[in-house]
Amino acid sequence: MLRREMNAPRDNIVEIRDLHFSRGARKIFDGLNVDIKRGQVTAIMGPSGTGKTTLLRLITRQLRPDHGTIVVDGVDIANLNKAELYKLRKRFGMLFQNGALLTDLSVFENVAFPLREHTNLSNRLIRHVVLTKLHAVGLRGAADMMPGELSGGMARRVALARAMATDPDILIYDEPFVGLDPISMGVIVRLVRRMNDALGISSILVSHDVDEISTVSDCSYLLSDGKVAASGSPDELNRASSELVRQFMHGMADGPVAFHFAAPDYAEQLLGRDSE
């Protein structure tokens, strides 16, 4: 049995408190606090290198924090043994960057893969579930196609059907809009919102696409310097007075996040040694 924390807030399906994590000498998180509300779409945003994907790996305990707690539906994941951790992970669905479809399997078999791995369903029931999920993303007619025959948007939709195959409680999206044309992006945005509400799941969405996040998310967290720089609804973030928040939300080149990576003096580096 998974051990539940008696005092875990009922409205938070994931609760992160005082999270610290480093890679070597580089501090990624320095006292991070985040709540993922049950039944909502929660977006994780921030400039490149702020640890957004790393946070997803910590939530699924692919990585362990240096300090702090991560509680998933009342369970402190640090205390789970291997069997309990695998059981918990079955409650997650994952849409990887660029879809990550298995190229040697058909669309049907890609969606069927987690069902064959984690359930004892008959082939007849697997067929029913797979076709239902593909129909939900508009691709039932592509069941016999191979991943190499799909457009980028279609591949992402197949990956979403696969992520939903086992009816997860928490669906994680890691940069779901990257590389999509405007039409495909609009389709994925609508599917994220529709699937979340229709299935009653909780979604965690990591993305740089401010406009799309503003359309689909209930709450957003903007990460910077290892902590939450700002959080709230998309409208609240758009109205924020913080220079960092304004720079990120409006795509401004100048601001707290410097355009140039730290470097020696430009003139000295160009001319100093050569002029000696």
pLDDT computed for residue 19 by the predictor: 94
196 three-class SS: helix
Distance CA 270, CA 254 (A): 24
Question: What's the one-letter identity of residue 82?
Answer: K
Separation of alpha carbons 63 and 207, rounded Å: 20
- How many Cβ atoms from other residues are within 10 Å of residue 260's Cβ? 6
Predicted confidence at residue 275, as pLDDT, reads: 46
pLDDT in tens, 197-245: 888 889 999 887 777 777 888 898 988 888 888 888 877 777 766 666 6
| Tokens encoding 89 | 């992970």
- Give the separation between CA 254 and CA 97, rounded to whole angstroms: 28
Quickly tell me which residue has 């009922």 as its tokens.
10
Q: Which residue has the higher pLDDT, 176 or 102?
A: 102
Gap between the Cα atoms of 231 and 115, Å rounded:
36
At 106, which amino acid appears? S
Cα 91 from Cα 168, distance rounded (Å): 5
Q: Which helix (H) or strand (E) holds 172?
A: strand 170-174
Question: How many other CB atoms sit within 10 Å of the CB of residue 178?
Answer: 14
Beta strands 170-174 and 202-206, pairing class: parallel
* pLDDT tens-digit map of 162-186: 999 888 999 998 888 777 778 777 8
Average pLDDT over residues 91-114: 89
Q: Is the pLDDT of residue 8 over 90?
A: no
